[in-house]
Structure 1
Amino acid sequence: MAFEGIAAFISSLVLLLVIQRWLHHEMQAFFFLLTGRPGWALALFSILLFPGVLLHETSHALVAWLLRVPVQGVSLLPRLLPDGQLELGYVRTTPTDFLRDALIGAAPFLAGTLLVAHLGLNVLGFKTLIPLFLRAEWQALPQQALALTQQPDFWLWFYLTFAISSTMIPSAADRRAWWAVGTVLGIVVLVAILAGAEQWLALTLWPLLNRGLLTLGLVLGIALAVHLVLVLPLWGLNRVIARARHALRV
């Protein structure tokens, strides 16, 4: 039984979450160094991610409408939560069954992965980098990546890919019904195994799941690459600005 799909998905997701958290911290630090005001820093940070926030909340609302779940409120304005975390927007829906709740919660991730896959592979042309990466042709990678930046509107599409991929991960509220769905699926699989369908699951269902997770891992890898391109220069720039400001005070 092949496990490369689940390995690619988990590793890409964990790395993306770590790098994304780091990048968001550096972005907010940069805007604070630029303005000297926390409120302005959060406002500029929110504006930069607005295209992704718009897609995220629109996906929630659209799926809720398709599933006939009333929407009680929508906001695209950022606010600080009581625990100190920043909420960039929200869609509040009427309580419903766990299946529809889970689908509404998963909508931004599904929409985001589809768009990131299209933008990354077809528009930005990252698909030309994948064979070089798989063959470990490290010397050819920078040259090919630099050539991609010469495409018309490359940086506009790069920005949109970043904004979407940086806001597509489901929040804790989005995931609240996933445990119920996971439990039901786990019970179904367990019953199938006890009924003697283990070989069928291994030969038929698992390969499909493995390929699906491998594809998701690739899309998350695109998002990870975009975040890495941004976080390292921004981290360095923040260190330079902070030291320069400290030197001026001295």
Structure 2
Amino acid sequence: MSWLQPYSGLILFILSLLVFLVVQRRLHREIQGVFLLLTRSPALALGLFALLFFPGVLIHETSHWITAKLVGVRTGKFSLIPQLQPDGTLRLGYVEAAPADVFRETLIGAAPFISGVLTVGWIAVFPLDVFRFGQIQTGVRLNELWGGLADMGKMPDFWLWFYLAFTISSTMLPSASDRRAWLPSTLIIGIILIIFLIAGVGEWLLVLVDPINRVLGAVALVFGFSLVLHLFLILPFWLLRKLLSKATGLEVI
């Protein structure tokens, strides 16, 4: 429908984010299950899981630390050591930051997401050149499609870039603590927008709709690329977990 066109980027962003969240969490469970069945030690399985995602965790926490420094917020401890939380969740790392206003806390919390999207997008466009692969797909010929996949696998350092894109995209989403200032900052921005609308300057705000829609559309493409990476791995890890469960007689709950 034509009236949805100005918001196509927002719609794609929401849909791609929701699907990516579901697949990412399922893949994380499958990987943890494989490590637990292989080691039969929760502590060792936790260490292997953290080691696998170390590049992404490093970028995530470093983004917090750099942004805090840039906006003038004092930082404390910086840790990349995984810890199991009392509620059963896994914290792969953290950066302590002094309390600040909601806008600076929002920027600090959003930093890993911004740096992650930019990094994964750069890997997709330049080292992996996914747009060239997209051009191959437009031919709708199966032999060209498989040929394109084979060519991507032969690219220099393909698996290194694949691994980096996977780990960074899998750890770029903000945690609950990263999002704690988002609600109040969103409410403040919403109130300001309402005041502008009441004051009669709503038409001036419409010029922002198209740029924001384009940015969200670009982020949705990064989510789509990240989703493909996760889907590529989820079946092998699921099969490996099933085989290990059958061989050991153990099930991961």
Which category of TM-score, normalised to the shorter sequence, fits these structures?
Answer: over 0.9
The amino acid that maps onto 2:22 is V
Question: Please, which runs of 5 or more residues in structure 1 have no aligned partner?
Answer: none
1:242 aligned onto 2:245 = yes
Q: Does 1:222 align with 2:225?
A: yes
Aligned length: 245
Counterpart contact for 2:56–2:169, Cα < 8 Å: yes
Determine if contact 2:136/2:148 at 8 Å carries over to the other structure: no
Deviation at 1:3, TM superposition (A): 1.6
Distance, in Å, in 2 between the alignment partners of 1:193 and 1:141 is: 50
- Give the alignment partner of residue 11 of structure 2, picking from 7, 11, 22: 7
Letter in 2 for 1:150: K
TM-fit CA distance, 1:26? 0.5
Cα offsets for 1:180-225 (capped at 9, x unmatched): 22112211222222223333333x1111111111011011111111
Matched residue SS, 1:129: helix
Residue of structure 2 aligned with 1:33, choices 33, 37, 60:
37
Cα distance per residue 1:34-56 (max 9 Å; x no partner):
11111111110000001111111
Equivalent-residue separation in structure 1 for 2:176 and 2:113 (angstroms): 13
Cα distance, 1:166–1:107 mapped onto 2, change above 3 Å: same
Cα distance in structure 1, aligned partners of 2:164 and 2:43: 24
User: Aligned partners of 1:25 and 1:132: how far apart in 2?
Assistant: 34
The residue number in structure 1 matching 2:84 is 80
Structure 2: segments with no counterpart, 5+ residues: none
Letter in 2 for 1:8: L
Aligned ranges 1:182-221 → 2 under 5 Å: 182-202=186-206, 204-221=207-224
Shift of 1:106: 0.7
Using the aligned pairs only, state the percent identity.
44
Deviation at 1:142, TM superposition (A): 3.7
Deviates more, 1:138-147 or 1:5-14: 138-147
1:7-29 per-residue CA deviation (whole Å, 9 max, x = no partner) reads 11001111111111001000001
Instruction: Give the TM-score normalised by structure 2.
Output: 0.91
AA at the equivalent of 1:239? K
1:162 pairs with 2:169: no
3-state DSSP of counterpart to 2:78: strand
TM-aligned CA distance change 1:143 to 1:84, over 3 Å: same
CA positional deviation for 1:241: 2.2
Query: Is the counterpart of residue 97 in structure 1 residue 109 in structure 2?
Result: no
- SS of residue matched to 1:124: coil
CA deviations 1:115-168 (Å, max 9, x no partner) are 0000112111212234566x5937344431221010111001110111111111
